[in-house]
Amino acid sequence: MARLNRQEETEKTHTESDTKEHTKESEEESCPECESESLVTSGEGDELVCDDCGLVIEEDIIDRGPEWRAFNHGERESKSRVGAPTTQTMHDKGLTTQIDWKDKDAYGRSLSSEKRSQMHRLRKWQERIRTKDAGERNLQFALSETDRMASALGVPRSVREVASVIYRRALNEDLIRGRSIEGVATSCLYAACRQEGIPRSLEEVSEVSRVEQKEIGRTYRYISQELGLRMEPVDPKEYVPRFCSELGVSEEVEMKAKEIIDVTAEQGLLSGKSPTGFAAAAIYAASLLCNEKQTQREVASVAQVTEVTIRNRYQEQIEAMGIQ
């Protein structure tokens, strides 16, 4: 009997504690000030804030950052105890050791001639052992070519990372066999620009490459089909800001050109047309409407299309807009 009473008391205690925890959880799910259930966590994850009234419900005073302070880039570099993050743009993902080219010791003093000769040999062998076979050497060459072309095109770092990932996938699927390394690397860079929404035409990419445009297009179609890359159609409006900036026209012309593209694209004029030529014609038409006339030759030079293309697209666009 005493055992049953103790068991009932234990169950009652557990029930009361569960009820208190449930009540506490329900209180935390709503704001005590305005009773709103719209609670958000701050960017660093150390505060729980009501989205309606701004009350800080929970606050974590633990600083999860480093224990040292730095006020400029040089101090951060000198005090940091970690290396650079891994990157796909290097064949070894940046995990191997690199010997600095400066012939100085830890105190900044110049090395003796004997030590300089020794460091030169070590540096040379370090570069050699970074690539263990022909496959890694080819990958190193392809990624260096990708980095060179990306720098010439002025695309951001994210595009280089995506291009490197696409090339590694093509290498793992054995899609490089029978094709030039430069051609595949250029095709991967063009595909990365398309995926990241960076407006670069095939003509612009072929200019910085050592491969013909026809081969780049053929390899790009093959790789995108084999790897199942989902490519959205290029929007001509993505080219308008860059072309307008190079022409030095006002923002009014840029907005008018985008309006022309929207109106004419809704009528189906964009189907089967080059996006660069379509954007160039819209800019030419907008410059005439805004009294900031640009010649067809100037616009064609910036967009890398022919004047005939601009004239044809221009006639189609003004007819669709109902402008005489």
Residues that constitute the known binding site for Zn(2+): 31, 34, 50, 53
134-153 helix and 157-172 helix, angle to the nearest 10 degrees = 150
DSSP string over 285-297 = HHHHHTT----HH
Q: Cα 136 vs. chain centroid, distance in angstroms? A: 25
**What DSSP designation does 236 have?**
G
**Nearest of 210, 206, 202 to residue 239 by alpha carbon:** 202
d(CA 211, CA 181): 10
> Under DSSP, is residue 57 helix (H, G, I), strand (E, B) or coil?
strand
* 3-state percent helix, strand, coil for the chain, nearest multiple of 5: 60, 5, 35
Q: Which residues contact 45 (CB under 8 A, 6 or more apart)?
A: 60
Annotated binding site: 31, 34, 50, 53
Evaluate whether 172 touches 210 at the Cβ level (below 8 Å): no
Q: Which residues contact 84 (CB under 8 A, 6 or more apart)?
A: 94
Evaluate whether 260 touches 317 at the Cβ level (below 8 Å): yes
